[in-house]
Structure 1
Amino acid sequence: MVCEQLKVPFKADSMRQPLFSINIPMYNCEEFILEALKSIEQQTFRDWEIVLVDDGSTDGTLETCLRQKIIPSEKIKIIASCHAGQYATRRKLIENSLGAYIISLDADDMLIDSDSLEKIAAAISNHGCDVVLFNATRSLDEINKIVDYGILDADQDGIITSAEVLSVMSSSYELNNICFKAYRRTLWDSGENEREINNTEDRLQCAQILSKADTCALIDEPFYYYRPNPSSVTNKPIPFKFLQDLIYVEESLNSILSKISYDKEKRSAFLCQIVIGLLGLMRKAYPDRASRIVLYRNTIDELSKSDLFSNIAPSIVRGGAPIHVIAYRLLISNRLGLLDNLASAKEKIYGFSNNR
């Protein structure tokens, strides 16, 4: 296959700029993709295009999209590509989009209300904001919000600065998901990162976009169905590259955070937290103590290459240090037997969630 091959060209009269480009990365999702398309077609707001990039699927995903009759051809663009991973695919989607704003929709997810796009468009019209944040649910039977937006200090109209969102992101994974945001397309710099990232890519993309934004609007309503994924990070063996990607993303985020005010002590404790949480998941694949000690040593070697992670030194807070800080100190001080004893006693030292 020739990489980045346009399969369904737009008609000439469709080249005007719509408000939204709805970007869908696809990889082996033939079971769900038509549901995703139907959820867009049912929207009362109609000023949108759909851009699909198939990331080298090995099932019938691409053929299913080429045969679909749900979306008229003048409103959909389908690109067949060689397998490159989620981050590269999202970059390719944006580069092939015409819309003033981007909305990301994973191929196995859906928009859940017919007026979702209408409400997002109204927020953009009323406030002229660069980014709109909204909520999601993991169940269509019992709608419960996934994101606790109480951590943001939005005003009564839901307006908040991008610097405040980034400040919260410095010590939280709560706001990572790019699919729960609509953002101005011009905020994205396609040449910003060429490195292949397979993990925590949402966090990096969100931070890069927010670093160029001014104001954000919050609509704390669940517009998005985030389908439970049995192949998520917590349900499969964790590759060591996850740690390498995590380090790269947090170093990139630190460069962005250097331009704003944030709580450095809180961030240091958070960095300990995510490393130890990830290590707690990774060690599940190592059945004996000797192999786990090797894992810990490899982790130390990787962290030592990073100025950010090798210099973490959160203070002992009143009442003692949190357990993840204690565990991190045991790790970097090479007290690996004690670390393994602690991890065995607390099988899950800290719950790790990539939030995709």
Structure 2
Amino acid sequence: MAVASSPSSLVDVDRVRQDVDEILAGHVADLRLELEHLGPAVTPLVEAVERMLSGGKRLRAAFCYWSWRAHGGTDLGTAPGAAGRVAASRATVLRVGAALELFQAAALFHDDVMDDSDTRRGKPSAHRHFAEVHQGAGWAGSARRFGESAAILLGDLSLIASERELALAVAGLPEAARLRVRGVFDRMRTEVTVGQYLDVLVQATPWGEDPVADEERARQVIRAKSARYSVEHPMALGATLAGADDGAVRRCRGIGLPLGEAFQLRDDLLGVFGDPGVTGKPAGDDLREGKRTVLVSRALREADLDARRLVLGRLGAPDLTTDGIDELRAVIVRTGADRQVEQLIAELADPALATLEGAALEEPGRSMLVELGRAAVDRQT
């Protein structure tokens, strides 16, 4: 696979990050004004939303924007799309990108509670932060429960914001175009929510006896929870906003799903081997959280009896030490599981990128989508 540009540099092209950030900043400002009459007690909620939105790669917004460009979207505004459909303006596409980022914020608030994650982008996760506030103030009741409740409500606030941004974005489109866009967005939100449940289910059910079946369940979670909303749906949204026909949208899905799965597999590798100074997560955090990933299922498949016992005994242990993480990493490397996952990433991404490179799409949209795809699967953060 060719060396990719960094995601950070790519999302800056054509001011995508800057313009989406301005929309998100406007949302935070509006939220602060809207809640002002409720008094200073709600200020920490607005600040927590602002912190979550201040990070992120903006890859989903970029996939949406450059898919719109690749399928004929222009800066000139509304234009006829395929089969008489209406193409959205750049402003509309960027607002849909902001809605994607707000939906991701909601998913992250909730995901951190379900995974009991300590950090998010190098800072305490929302439920940890609010638990610390509770404990420091000496308030009544459980600090942990208070923190989790606050984070759940923050996720709900972000979901409301995502719906608002989407509604504002598509308000000026004809009804048929508006319904097509909402159909893609609503399908994405439904799949991610069900994917979260599948993830919880996988974490709760017996695991380790059949690594092949374990891997298939892990990949099912990846597709539903992450892959589709990371790449497939943003690309499909961009094509839909450009007025592309159903065949073009299906092509986006065929390219986006394997790229999204490769994106999450890269995330799983970084969760075990990534540099904390780059990823913003503690070293080996996924092992401490006991995430049941393709990487771990491959290690179990290849491990001898003693190594299997070590993995099953220590994965997700609440008292897992740094030495314990190093031992688990050593098993993964010794079994070649990390190299197998790298190979799987290539098997998923390379054909998808080749299809994208050969597609009859507009420039520079097509080339930017190829570069974004490479960056998504080769990134170090």
- Shorter-chain TM-score range: under 0.3
Greater relative CO, 1 or 2 (CA 8 Å, sep 6+): 2
TM-score with structure 1 length normalisation?
0.26
Q: Which has the higher strand share?
A: 1
Q: Which has the higher helix share?
A: 2
TM-score with structure 2 length normalisation?
0.25
